[in-house]
A and B are shown apart, each in its own frame.
Chain A
Amino acid sequence: MRDLSALPENAPLFSLRGLSFRYGRRVALRCDSLDIERGQAVALLGPNGSGKTTFLKVLNGLLGPYDGTLRFLGRSPGPALRLRSVYLHQHPVLFTGTVRDNLARALSFRRVPRGEAAGRVQAAIDRVGCASLMDREASRLSGGETQRVALARALALGADILFLDEPTSSMDAASQNAVRSVLAELKSEGVTLIFSTHDQELADALADTRILFDAGRAMPHPHGGNHDTSR
């Protein structure tokens, strides 16, 4: 799943030109020009309602249509992007059943054989430190546990690209640290991480690139340095 070699070598992972998205008449997102390279960790920073979630959803194909150009490896985003990426909501939803059922069902969506799926489910849940939750009903998990299980579900799928909407927002300090270290590992494995956050530590620890959002306008951070996310 993590082999991108068949796709154009030189093209940016994502290339946006004159992109804008509207909810009705209201422009919710504008981006003049932006490239995101493969393997990067990109932090989306800005106040609530500034367009970070919309940006993630447009990139992942959950929102559309949009004006302007969005290219994935030089092409229109299509099934290739869908199969290589997962979007995690700020408050993810899990389906009816146990945690194990949730992970196994996600793998069945991508037609992973059952024999292989069991191992991937276990490895993913171990990785986020939630092995003890494996047979718990998903509906009984706390917000932080749900976020970690949803992350495990994405990991089990082996996605190249993760879109994460405030991935540590509902977690206690210990869980935040655990998730930060998992994301750091993923980054070192070449997974592209595009995440919105108000968590300065997370941005400092992971981000290669920062994109600032203000009233729907996305602007690459001029210096890539620290940025006050507490607004």
Chain B
Amino acid sequence: MDALGQALSLLATGDTETWWTVGTTIRFALWSTLFSALPGVPLGAVLYLGRFRGKRALAAAINASMAVPTVVIGLFVYSFISRSGPLGFLNIMYEPAGVILGQSLLALPLAAAMTHTGLQKMDPRYAETLLTLGAGFWRRLLAILREGRFVVVQAVLASFGRVTGEVGVSMMLGGNIRWHTRTMTTTIALDASKGEFERALSLGVVLLAVALTVNALSHLAARDA
């Protein structure tokens, strides 16, 4: 109970390092959510509207890739951006950009799959109406995303929640460098391993609050849909 009290005190007194870590995590998550949603949401809509060979296989592959452990994504990106990798010249290993790249790849299949399955639950008359009105593919895609905007909101929120709570990518690609790439989850992992639970608990409380907020917003979007 003492540790919890001290953890809450860290938050209440505005402890600089704790709140810096929270801010960094949110900043990384916002960028990676953006970079995953930009291709992921249209990809989900293409899967919904498109009629092409291999569509089912692509949807299955996207669904399967959601289950890939975060450390495997981290390892995959590591092999590309490490100094000896093909993208080593970018010098983004152990940099915020590296973490954001890994997190974006982690959330991309989630954004695509959630958009796809969400649109599948929409009234099929929308897609039929767009088709019969003569809208071309890209106009149909934009229109269906507009009509299914609550689906998009849910997909984006889920992506945000996913990257906020992940640890493998941040640890492998960010290196958990203090005042540079340290996020809430990597701080929790480090502090807990050292037996220092105050900051870990305080960040756990923030992570829980983020998760609950994302969940509540997602439910609101579903209700409005």
Contact = CB atoms under 8 A, between A and B. Distances in A.
Contacts of B128: 57, 62, 87, 89
Query: Which secondary structure dominates where chain A touches chain B?
Result: mixed
Task: Please give me the 7 A-B residue pairs with the lowest Cβ-Cβ distance, nearest first.
Answer: A109-B135, A87-B132, A93-B125, A106-B133, A110-B134, A109-B133, A62-B128
A163 B136 CA distance: 20
17 contacts: A62-B128, A82-B132, A86-B132, A92-B125, A92-B129, A93-B123, A95-B126, A95-B129, A95-B147, A96-B146, A96-B147, A109-B130, A109-B134, A109-B136, A110-B133, A157-B134, A163-B132
B192 interface: no
A60 B135 contact: no
Interface string A106-144: 101110000000000000000000000000000000000
Interface string A81-99: 0110111010111011000
Contacts of B134: 82-83, 86, 109-110, 157
A166 B130 CA distance: 19
Contacts of B130: 109
A153 interface: yes
B143 A62 contact: no
Nearest to A107: B133
Query: Which secondary structure dominates where chain B touches chain A?
Result: helix
Contacts of B131: 61-62, 82
Interface string B63-105: 0000000000000000000000000000000000000000000
Given A95-B143, A96-B146, A96-B147, A157 B129 contact: no
B145 to A, nearest CB: 11
Contact of B132 (A60, A91, A95, A108): A60
Which of A61, A109, A157 has the most chain B CB within a 10 Å cutoff? Answer: A109
Contacts of B126: 93, 95
Contacts of B135: 109
A91 B123 CA distance: 11
Contacts of A163: 132
Contacts of B219: none
A60 B134 CA distance: 11
Nearest to B130: A109
B55 interface: no
Contacts of B139: 108-109
Contacts of A85: 132
A200 B58 CA distance: 49
Interface string B142-186: 010011000000000000000000000000000000000000000
Interface string B106-140: 00000000000000000101101111111110010
Nearest to A150: B129
B165 to A, nearest CB: 33
A91 B133 CA distance: 16
A189 B133 CA distance: 21
Nearest to A156: B133
A60 B143 CA distance: 21
Interface in A68-89: 82-83, 85-87, 89
